[in-house]
Structure 1
């Protein structure tokens, strides 16, 4: 929500979070949303709401579903918590931080530093990617 209110944010990285605003509002900065694989225990409104917000955005957005991830995968929790898949995912705990950090780096390098190339090509190495191209506007 801070990035929507402050144009000083040049990019947004969403770590398996759903927008909690009552009315869907677009982002005006590029967004990388890293998500866990959606399963029967996932809030059924989570992915539709996130997808709707990303599709409204005026900059290109990326939703990357990381295989074997759970909600806490995107933190350092898998290195510290017991290996409970519902908490930390089914991926090997020592392999978890690398792909999510690499995906964030690829996105931020392109977005903030202008590294040439297509960030989508780099991101597909880390999971299932959905790209929402900018709808225009300011």
Structure 2
């Protein structure tokens, strides 16, 4: 992105990118990759994991704000998922948020609900318009707050979209 921003004037994005305010974002395995990317590359200011199981080491600890959107945890969910995700967030040195979206399924966090059959086990029960609205609203609230400094209290704003768990940094470390 830095090279693209510095590109000559022929590229329409040249000189228009704010590379100091970039978030890594991904869905599923891409969400796990986004968590790792933020651990490895300090140019990212935040991370959004869309229903991704955190693979790999949980060290070093996340030191940038994180938002994790998940579907409801059920008996069919991998029993390692929630403990592993919680460990990754609780080890962090920045405040992180886990938002469980009621009615979501794994593909809710993609554009799948827009074109796939409305089968709740595949795309959730939020519908073609509500799925993208909820995901976009929650992620925009997070990004506006952590990247743009909007005076939003995420602990108050995010529960409008689901069940929120806030993981504050352990200052005793």
TM-score between the two structures when normalised by the length of structure 1: 0.94
Q: Report deviation, 1:106.
A: 0.3
Aligned match of 1:94: 129
Q: 1:42 aligns with which of 55, 74, 77?
A: 77
Q: How does 1:64-103 map to 2 (within 5 A)?
A: 64-103=99-138
Aligned match of 1:58: 93
TM-score between the two structures when normalised by the length of structure 2: 0.76
Relative contact order (C-alpha < 8 Å, sep 6+): which is higher?
1
Aligned match of 2:144: 109
Which contiguous aligned blocks of 4+ residues in structure 1 show a shift greater than 4 angstroms?
none
> Unaligned regions of 5+ residues in structure 2, if any?
1-35
SS at match of 2:39: helix
- Cα-Cα RMSD: 1.5
Q: Report deviation, 1:137.
A: 8.7
Answer with 81-90 or 100-109: which moved more: 81-90
Aligned match of 2:21: none
Answer with 93-102 or 106-115: which moved more: 93-102
Answer with 57-66 or 77-86: which moved more: 77-86
SS at match of 1:96: helix
Q: Once the two structures are superposed, what CA deviation does each residue of 1:85-125 show, in whole Å capped at 9, x if it has no partner? A: 11101222221100110000000000000001311211010
Structure number with larger C-alpha Rg: 2
CA distance in 2, matches of 1:106, 1:45: 29
Q: Once the two structures are superposed, what CA deviation does each residue of 1:66-95 show, in whole Å capped at 9, x if it has no partner? A: 000001101110111111211101222221
Aligned match of 2:157: 122
Aligned match of 2:47: 12
Aligned match of 2:64: 29
> Unaligned regions of 5+ residues in structure 1, if any?
none
